[in-house]
Amino acid sequence: MPESLVLITRRIPPAGLALLDDAGARTRVLEPDPDRIVDRAALIGAVQHAAVLLTQLTERIDREVMEASAGLRGIATMAVGYNNIDMDAANAMGIPVSNTPGVLTETTADLTFALLLGIARRIREADAYMRAGKYRIWGPELLLGTDVGTGPDGSRKTLGIIGYGRIGRAVARRARGFDMDIIAYRSGRTGSADDGTPYVSLDDLLTRSDFVSIHAPLNHDTRHLIGARELKLMRDSAFLINVGRGEIVDERALVAALRSATIAGAALDVYEYEPAMADGLADCHNVLLAPHIGSASVATRDRMAAIAARNALAHLRGERAPEVVNPAVYDSAAYRARLESMS
């Protein structure tokens, strides 16, 4: 029988560790080096002694990992997405899984708009230009970019948002401050959202938008939602921003579109085969790249760690986790059998 150990796959911010320590939980951080990937064999070996697994999106938590601990009471991930966890296996084995939703909405929306502004106004190129000592004299054609707001001619730009949930709506609020027109695509939705934003088809959104921002969840229907065909529908003056999931965009097709100027540019915080990038992506001058920092503010990451810790403590005590993503598991025979085996 595993001990009452919370196994933390990789180091989390102090706010989460403090909560676990204050509650008297016994913890072990498997990989304390923030720049190293967790060794899978070490993970499977360590989880044998764990009652709760506190993981991050960088680890693949499949049936093999779950079966390594006969007394695993729950899995807490310090992320909103949980595509790295085999939910079919967790449900079949009676294992509750929890995440950290809501807390990163505003921070991620901030980063989205920072990327949008950055690629439109060529901030990365301007920074490199200054650092290289190339700035000799101001000129009227130096690093010309694209207006995000109405600009001198008063024409409004259109922002198309793919995935109009919490983060998509937060991005829309920021865009309205720039007098942008907003349209949205959300599978199965027609008419308008409750804030008045019109729902349109994906093809309509792509053809009408000056900026396309992706915030949809990753599932069977959204993988490669944006491929070569969809990129060709976009205007050659349009920009693609992805702060959702890397696999929603066919990254090879995106490289081809950037090289051929099929679209004006892209700004990415997530990647199809993260942390790797598609060949040629880093060489494109018209792309702005960030290393998955959508939620990377001190306050937000602290809050995420605290939520993950509270979920982990609930799993440890056999209580309903505050942010469980598979609540039906608590009523399953598999969950009851798992609890009985631990008593």
Alpha carbon 99 to its chain's center: 12
The bridge status of strand 211-214 relative to strand 181-185 is: unpaired
Burial letters for 146-165: b for 16+ Cβ neighbours within 10 Å, e otherwise?
bebeeeeeeeebbbbbbbbb
Tell me which of 245, 301, 315, 338 is the catalytic residue. 245
Position 1 scores a pLDDT of 36
Q: Which of 208, 274, 317, 319 is catalytic?
A: 274
Q: Are 134 and 126 in contact (CB under 8 A)?
A: no
All residues at 6 or more sequence positions from 296 whose CB lies less than 8 Å from its CB, including other chains: 107, 111
CA 290 centroid distance within chain: 12
Question: pLDDT digits over 234-247, tens only?
Answer: 999 999 999 999 99
Question: What mean pLDDT, rounded, does the chain reach?
Answer: 96
pLDDT (mean) for 255-284? 97
Cα(231)–Cα(249) distance, integer angstroms: 10
**pLDDT > 90? residue 2:** no
Residue 144 confidence (pLDDT): 97
The b/e string for 191-204 (b: 16+ C-beta within 10 A; e otherwise) is eebeeebebbebee
Burial of 176 (C-beta count, 10 Å sphere; 0-12/13-18/19+): middle
Residue 245 annotated to the active site: yes
Whether residue 136 lies in the annotated active site: no
Q: What would the pLDDT profile of 102-136 be if each residue is shown by its tens digit? A: 899 999 999 999 999 999 999 999 999 999 999 99
Active site residue 247: no
At residue 3, the pLDDT reads: 58
227-234, long-range: CB < 8 A, 24+ apart: 227/253, 228/253, 228/256, 228/257, 230/202, 230/203, 230/206, 231/257, 231/262, 231/263, 232/257, 232/262, 233/203, 233/206, 233/207, 234/206, 234/207, 234/209, 234/262, 234/263
Q: What number is the average pLDDT over the span 312-327? A: 96
Torsions phi, psi for 31 (to 5 deg): -125, 100
Selected catalytic residue, list 208, 224, 235, 292: 292
Give me the mean pLDDT over the 321-337 stretch: 96
Burial 266-295 (b: 16+ CB within 10 A, else e): bbbbbbbeeeebbeebeebebbbebebebb
This prediction has a pTM of: 0.91
Beta bridge partners of 27: 6
β-bridge mates for residue 185, sequence order: 162
- Percent share of the chain, pLDDT over 90: 94
User: pLDDT tens digits, residue range 201-241?
Assistant: 999 999 999 999 999 999 999 999 999 999 999 999 999 99
At 256, is the pLDDT very low, low, confident or very high (cuts 50, 70, 90)?
very high
CA distances from 44 to 1, 28, 30, 58, 67 (A): 15, 14, 11, 15, 9
**φ, ψ dihedrals at 170, nearest 5°:** -65, -35
Decide: 165 and 154 in contact? Cβ < 8 Å: no
pLDDT tens by residue, 273-300: 999 999 999 999 999 999 999 999 999 9
